[in-house]
Amino acid sequence: MQQQPESDRRYPFMREAIRLSEENMRTGKGGPFGAVIVKEGQIIARGYNRVLETRDPTAHAEVVAIREAAKLLDVFHLEGCEIYTSCEPCPMCLGAIYWARLDKMYYANTKEDAAAIGFDDQFIYEELDRPVEHRRLQSVQMLRDEAQQAFREWAANPDKTPY
């Protein structure tokens, strides 16, 4: 991948994500991951990996930053925002980035770099490609007919807020 000129306006944002990853890793609160969300050239949210600190397996840097930005802006979509993350996101965080509808993502380390230090998500990518019945996580569908009622009501509700 081609490096941008040192004068690139995006460098300070990525450097802040990297700084957060280093600071967090040194405190022992979680892994070496940091993220910032930028809107109109300003950092509006910061996140670092808080898995160990909170005992929350979803408290990855990107998810923490997305939650902070959404709360600050009082929205559930982050159009008009960009995310800078110290590492290529895991499948969960990448899904959260898509769901948040961020305009663009920048990352520093690759998923291969993360795998080299013990954060290997390749098994998740492989699992997602398998049919449900062949995945390691045993999954059993049940009571679909009953669950369909909520879906019918949602589909028929003219006052719903789509997202």
The catalytic residues are 62
Cα distances (angstroms) measured from residue 155 to each of 54, 65, 77: 37, 31, 21
Report d(CA 60, CA 93) in Å as an integer.
Answer: 7
Cα distances (angstroms) measured from residue 61 to each of 58, 64, 157: 9, 5, 35
Q: What is the dihedral of CA 8, 11, 12, 15, to 10 degrees?
A: -170
